[in-house]
């Protein structure tokens, strides 16, 4: 079986997160990890952005790539925090340009409780947000299982 190696960067607001939902989603290939199909997903790095405006974004991907990362995921917390991260598109562009690695928005499926709130607030009603949540937006049953 092919192994896909990924690094995960989380929003610093969630710096105490143990990563359970991300690791579960990677093992099950749910949410944004669904793009890897039948490949096994191996997490080779996990850290925060370093806090606004993302100082760790300049350096963390390099270590992850040295550990074999082929993709960098910006965790679902960037999408569901309130407000959603205003820097996520900059992070995607910067990491991709500087390191030549594919950057994926999202990790685990968006939990239903966050989906409902953002839907009611119409938070994600821009083309950028719609594109960023696309891979993490799953069916209701899966979203509920990530509450």
Tens digit of pLDDT at every position of the chain (147 positions): 899 999 999 999 999 999 999 999 999 999 999 999 999 999 999 999 999 999 999 999 999 999 999 999 999 999 999 999 999 999 999 999 999 999 999 999 999 999 999 999 999 999 999 999 999 999 999 999 999
- The rounded distance, in Å, linking the Cα atoms of 19 and 33 is 14
- The rounded distance, in Å, linking the Cα atoms of 88 and 41 is 23
Domain 3-145 has CATH 1.10.10: no
pLDDT at position 58 is 96
For 69, list phi and psi in degrees, rounded to 5.
Answer: -55, 130
State the alpha helices, DSSP H only, in the chain. 20-28, 60-66, 77-80, 88-99, 112-121, 127-133, 140-145
Strand partners, 48: 10
CB neighbour list of residue 76: distance below 8 Å, 6 or more residues apart: 21, 22, 31, 32, 106, 107, 108, 109, 110, 136
Tokens at residue 108, please? Answer: 């685990």
pLDDT at position 1 is 82
H/E stretch holding 3 reads strand 3-10
pTM of the model: 0.96
pLDDT at position 35 is 96
CB neighbour list of residue 136: distance below 8 Å, 6 or more residues apart: 31, 32, 76, 79, 105, 106, 107, 108, 109, 110
């Amino acid at each position: 079986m092919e192994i896909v190696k990924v690094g995960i960067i989380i929003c610093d607001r969630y710096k105490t997160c143990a990563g359970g939902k991300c690791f579960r989603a990677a093992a099950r290939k749910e949410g944004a990890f669904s793009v890897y199909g039948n490949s096994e997903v191996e997490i080779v790095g996990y850290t925060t952005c370093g806090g606004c405006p993302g100082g760790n974004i300049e350096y963390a991907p390099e270590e992850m790539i040295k550990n074999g990362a082929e993709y960098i995921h910006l965790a679902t917390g960037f999408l569901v925090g309130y407000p959603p991260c205003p820097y996520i598109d900059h992070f995607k562009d910067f990491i991709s340009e500087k390191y030549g690695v594919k950057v994926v928005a999202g990790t685990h499926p968006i939990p239903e409780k966050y989906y409902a709130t953002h839907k009611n607030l119409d938070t994600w009603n821009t083309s950028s947000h719609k594109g960023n949540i696309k891979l993490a937006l799953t069916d209701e049953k899966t979203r509920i299982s990530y509450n």
